[in-house]
Amino acid sequence: MISNARFDVLGIGNAIVDVIAPAEDDFLLAHALHKGGMTLIDHETSARLYGAMGPATIMSGGSAANTMVGIASLGGSAAFIGKVRDDEAGRAFHHDIQAAGVTFPTVAATAGAATARCLVHVTPDGERTMSTFLGACVELGPKDIDESYVAAARIVYLEGYLWDPPDAKAAFRKAADIAHRSGARIALTLSDSFCVDRYRGEFLDLLRTGMVDILFSNTSELHALYQTADLDTAIGELKKEKLLSFVTCSGEGCLVVDRSEVQSVIAAPIERLVDTTGAGDLFAAGALFGVARGFPLARCAAIGALAAAEVIQHYGARPECSLADLITQAGI
């Protein structure tokens, strides 16, 4: 681990503006959307769905970007690499992430597709279903990976969604190579069970070739990765990968798998579930912050659980208060 790193964590992922609105299950059925998942859509479908949505809240998002904002809110140092277009949405994204205290060095595209947006449909049970137009994100490539930033991080965090745009795969591999040469660790989130279905073999290859040191998943993603409905069987397979893993289990808390050892950490209590958008992103923020600072693994997971609990009690995938203050108040 790099002792004098400039950043606790550098995140690389899709730079997206979220459009969040409540929706009924019938709306999902009518538009053939997979509840709880993420579907890639084109610009025309995005415009059509946006027109059918009710009153919406618009804010900056993107999985790894949300995680970096969470780390900054915890008092950590974070940077983010992701591609936007030099348009109104792209400038808003740039402003929001820097205002949150995250370094954002990526140069905006001056031509090509518009800044990406994700239409987030939140059903009454708090579940979020996402329809994503990747837009400028598909332009992210190796040229956007600044070696000086990667080498300055203790941990480089990559989202599974990067496996959709072809050039982003090359960016992913370049970042991993630089990180390991500099002594940093690579963390990967599986992102979505449908994403795992698309790239199961490639994700397993990343784990088994040593490219990934830390893995984040929820139970659905883990079931998809190992093609089993039994969690104990999936955890047994995960142990064989010989890496550090955090497996979130919704309201039941999470499991920390460190090679052969498995620790269970309870979920943080909440008053009301509003919107699960960003729960995994903010859990990862807390866990990564703790790992970067050398905290015991159970404490890392507890910080992640508290960060996730904050974000699911309001709309949007980024914290509305100081997570550092919440951690202090909770005595974690």
Per-residue model confidence as pLDDT tens digits over 91-122? 999 999 999 999 999 999 999 999 999 999 99
**How buried is 293 (Cβ within 10 angstroms: 0-12 exposed, 13-18 middle, 19+ buried)?**
middle
**pTM higher than the cut 0.75:** yes
**Average pLDDT, rounded, for the chain:** 94
List CB contacts of 304: < 8 A, sequence separation 6 or more.
246, 254, 282, 283, 284, 285, 286, 287, 290
With cut-offs at 50, 70 and 90, classify the pLDDT of residue 259: confident
Looking at residue 3, what is its pLDDT? 58
Per-residue model confidence as pLDDT tens digits over 202-234? 999 999 999 999 999 999 999 999 999 999 999
Per-residue model confidence as pLDDT tens digits over 138-151? 899 999 999 999 99
3-state SS assignment for residue 288? helix
Q: Which domains does the chain have, with CATH numbers?
A: 7-14+62-112+137-330 (3.40.1190.20)
What is each CA distance from 54 to 24, 36, 125, in whole angstroms? 11, 19, 17
Looking at residue 271, what is its pLDDT? 94
Residue 110: Cβ within 10 Å count: 8
d(CA 145, CA 19): 28
**How buried is 74 (Cβ within 10 angstroms: 0-12 exposed, 13-18 middle, 19+ buried)?**
buried
List CB contacts of 294: < 8 A, sequence separation 6 or more.
1
Do residues 287 and 248 make contact, with C-beta atoms less than 8 angstroms apart? Answer: no
With cut-offs at 50, 70 and 90, classify the pLDDT of residue 1: low
The DSSP element (H or E) to which 215 belongs, if any, is strand 214-218
Per-residue model confidence as pLDDT tens digits over 262-320? 999 999 999 999 988 899 999 999 999 999 999 999 999 999 999 999 999 998 889 99
Per-residue model confidence as pLDDT tens digits over 139-198? 999 999 999 999 999 999 999 988 887 898 899 999 999 999 999 999 999 998 989 999
In the chain, the amino acid numbered 171 is A
What is each CA distance from 22 to 126, 231, 270, 277, 287, in whole angstroms? 9, 31, 20, 12, 29
